[in-house]
Amino acid sequence: MSANAAAKKQKPLKRHPSKLKRMSAYMILTLILISIVAVLFAFPLYWIITGSFKTGAAINATTPEWWPSQWVLTNYQKLFSGKSAPLWQLAVPFGSKFSANGEPIYFSVGPTAPAAIRWMINTVFMAVMSMILTCITAAMAGYALAKKRFVGRKLLFTLIVCAMALPKQVILIPLLREMSSLHLYNTIWAVIFPIVGWPFGVFLMKQFSEGIPTEMLEAARIDGASEARTFISVVLPMVKPGIGALAIFTFINSWNDYFMQLIMLSSTSNLTISLGIAKLQAENSTDFGLIMAGAALAAVPIIIIFLIFQKYFTKGIAMGAVKG
């Protein structure tokens, strides 16, 4: 009898029943713990969304109403019928520097709309622009620090790592003075530009760029590709998972950066949705339905962005863990 025939007839190894019981018990326990954690994290979001469709009596009832008995849109109607603001305001860059009263000079002002819509537009624009600019600058800086050899490279990377340890409160006053001197205070750009140079983004993209084979870069140069062509055609496709993970991190970080928004923005038309909800809460401290409607509106884009970039996010985290 040949070795192949003997291998075919060989019976598969059977695991000991006690080991199978231990594995099944471990899997069941893990599943229970994961389910509990998932419920704990998802329940506040569920309560906010369902609460935004409840009546005031149901929200303030002594016995909690786990599922709305009556679905109403009253809270959203109050949210959109409150304050108003121009739908958009396109200002001349650095126009306030040349105006008599220091106010921005607008060359296009949209029609008046509910302030909540303007706040949502401001927040989406701020988060998307921060995400795009941060991903571009971090990918370029990370690639240069990982694959280029120049004087002061290690010192520069050390400074970036040290900057990651600095609390935002430490650099807030210099950032405020800088935005004021650039005449960007009380504009969305005053919140966008400080996020663009995010040290964590540079650090993350450097770790991903370390995994790019040097041979591929040399082959691209031999074929006559310029530095820009090499970066676009070779580097970017290989660090795409890292860019996806950084995109989610940046979007969520800029969306939830309430402290920076509170310091840099003041006028009603320039507020973000989280800052606007906080002001509504201060003015309507007992109207929990209105506050829940605003919070539910603010949570929707975060969920959409995560679902879009989920594949890149999980892949990027896994690759980052393997790189160590």
- Tokens representing residue 306 in the block: 């995560």
The CATH-assigned architecture of domain 86-323 is Orthogonal Bundle (1.10)
Q: What is the mean pLDDT of each run of 10 residues along the chain (324 residues)?
A: 51 54 75 89 88 85 84 86 78 67 71 85 90 92 87 86 82 86 84 87 88 86 85 87 86 86 85 83 73 85 77 61 46
Please say whether the beta carbons of 206 and 323 come within 8 A. Answer: no
pLDDT value for 4? 54
Nearest to 115 by CA among 157, 81, 84: 84
pLDDT value for 324? 44
The residue written with tokens 């571009």 in the block is: 136
CA angle (246, 251, 253) in 5-degree steps: 90
pLDDT value for 138? 92
pLDDT value for 288? 82
**DSSP label at residue 53:** T
pLDDT value for 81? 80
Amino acid at 248: I
Alpha-helical runs (H) found in 10-164: 17-51, 56-59, 74-80, 115-147, 153-164
Q: Give, for 107, the enclosing helix (H) or strand (E).
A: strand 106-109
pLDDT value for 12? 53
The pLDDT mean for the chain works out to 80
How many residues are there in the chain?
324
**DSSP label at residue 212:** S
pTM flag (> 0.85): no
Tell me the β-bridge partners of 114. 84
Nearest to 209 by CA among 232, 238, 230: 238
Q: Encode pLDDT of 241-275 as tens digits.
A: 888 888 888 888 888 888 888 888 888 888 888 88
pLDDT value for 52? 87
